[in-house]
Amino acid sequence: MRKNVKILVTLVLFLLPIIAYSQTLVSLDQAIESGARYLSGRFPRGTRAVIVAVQGENQEIGEIVYRRLSVNLVNGGWFTVVERNAAALETINREMERHASGMISQETERLIGQQLGAEVIISCSFNRSSQNWRLDIQALRVETAERSAQWSADVRSDPAWTSLASPRTISIVFDGDNLAQRERTAITNGMRSILQERRVALELSDNPSSSYNFAITVYMNNPPANPSLIQAEVIISFLQSSRTLFQSEPFNITETTETLIARRIVEWLRSDQTFFNKVNDTIR
């Protein structure tokens, strides 16, 4: 008997990672149903709630999530769902224009809730996460401005709505001393490979007007003691709409040619896990 129990425990421990993985990705409808159930457990029956906005890659995807979440909350019968009116929509649009992230500030959420007589404001975002998507739902109590519920789910891609989304792009801007086109191309190709390796949900573009940019700043000089060498100080920055979100610490390279300088820059980028973790955290 003990032997059978031991075998059973071993089997369960073996299967747990498989079970956990299979539960990691869900459909959008499953994610919304689970999120609605979670919200129902956080507030009393009959709470007046309004979904203020869905931040997504474009308006169509945001509206898909908004409609599905609204239908689920209405049919669930737990919340009294308040419809957004023209004034509330105008406030939402004005706020989104002010913020590049598309997220509405907490104070604006309270204002909309007061306009509509809601007790709870529900906001969410639906954005790419590596090869799939992530749904984040938050709820704020209008009276106290307390963020009292927060829930997330990883959602598998669905061609029915992913085809609506244009991939988010990023370009590389070179600054500092001028690098030859060959070296710039080598760094760009290396960065494209690194984005795939690190599963960053950004597509490298040649268009400098992309919403995101990598700024690669290189300052070079020849040391007086050995003029045949090249010393380079390099800083890598991550920008959104020309605003620097974060940047690497300066790092120094000494090589004999600019081609080798470019190769070392790519090697450094490939080794810097922390930098690309920050990129992924920022775009999610």
Domains of the chain: 2-162 (3.40.50.10610), 169-283 (3.30.160.100)
pTM: 0.52
CA distance 231 to 233: 7
Widest CA span in the chain: 80
Residues 6+ apart with CB under 8 A from 159: none
Average pLDDT over residues 118-138: 85
Phi-psi region of 65 (alpha: psi -120 to 50; beta: other; left: phi over 0): alpha
Residue 273 exposure: Cα atoms within 13 Å on the Cβ side: 0
Q: Give the range among 23-27, 28-32, 178-182 with minimum mean pLDDT.
A: 23-27
- Report whether pLDDT(107) > 90: no
CA distance 265 to 179: 12
- At residue 72 the predicted structure's pLDDT band, cuts being 50, 70 and 90, is very high
CA distance 230 to 258: 8
- At residue 284 the predicted structure's pLDDT band, cuts being 50, 70 and 90, is low
CA distance 260 to 268: 12
Provide the β-strand partners of residue 246.
238
- At residue 11 the predicted structure's pLDDT band, cuts being 50, 70 and 90, is very low
% of residues, the chain, pLDDT over 90? 39
